[in-house]
Amino acid sequence: MDLCDRRAFIILSVASFLRLSFTLPSFARAAQRANRLNGLAGSPGTLNWEAFLEYIDREARVQYGRSWNQIHYVQEIEALAQSLNFADSGLRRTLSSARALGSALPQFTDLERRLTFQATLISFEKGQVLPLHDHPRMTGVMTCAKGTIDVRRFNLVASDREHGFCTLRDEGVARLTPGFTSSLTADMHNIHGLKAQSFSQVIDIFTPPYDRARIKESRWFRLNRPVTTGGEVIATILSQP
């Protein structure tokens, strides 16, 4: 059964989204095993969408352990994401149907939500921007499915939430094209902003998923002056973009 027949996709604005809201030799074999579990044996190292989700769900269970190594975890998810088959019929149909025409902001499509993670498609028209924002106590892996998009990454150096300011360090820009990924952990590159250089679509894997507490803690940021890679800058903390 096609993906689109099995699941109703929810189209969201930025605000509504926040409110609701993985190469190793053994990996090719693992990918094939995951595909076979779904009765869909694909090419070596290629994951169809349903197998991709099941494999993430397995990996994401490590978050409940005593010592969750988030850096290792996002590397695993990046490896999975880099083996995702974007020619999967249901996923391709979803990518084709999601556009942000006529909207000043990117369009969010909630693809999958489980207890362990959530997968969200973000569609950008050329020039659209998602301002600097954080991901409280979360990891994230973003994979570009279409287009070219710049991800500007920051680390939090110090925070004075009482007075609405913080110090950020610019960790540079990652330019993503189809198949390339960018990741964050609770402590590394957790603040980022995106700008589309063309019509672009990215799939974000958030672990754990957003819940009421994380949505409430989420913040947006405005730099108080220009900054270059490696430099530090004061930013104003905002409750909305």
Say if pTM beats, i.e. exceeds, 0.75: yes
CA gap 207, 133 in Å, rounded: 16
Residues 144, 174 contacting (CB under 8 angstroms): no
CA gap 23, 7 in Å, rounded: 31
Selection from 146, 150, 132, 49 nearest residue 99 by Cα:
146
DSSP per position, 24-91:
-HHHHHHHHHHHHHTT---STT-B-HHHHHHHHHHHHGGGGSSS--HHHHHHHHHHHHHTB-TT-HHH
| Rg from Cα positions in the chain | 18
pLDDT for position 170: 98
Q: pLDDT band for 197, please (50, 70, 90 cuts).
A: very high
Sign, CA torsion 150/13/21/131: positive
pLDDT for position 102: 67
Of residues 91 and 60, the one with the higher pLDDT is 60
pLDDT for position 103: 74
Q: pLDDT band for 67, please (50, 70, 90 cuts).
A: confident
Q: pLDDT band for 33, please (50, 70, 90 cuts).
A: low
Residues 153, 172 contacting (CB under 8 angstroms): yes
pLDDT for position 100: 59
For the chain, the domains span: 3-238
Whether domain 3-238 has CATH 3.30.420.40: no
| pLDDT tens digit sequence for 78-88 | 999 999 999 88
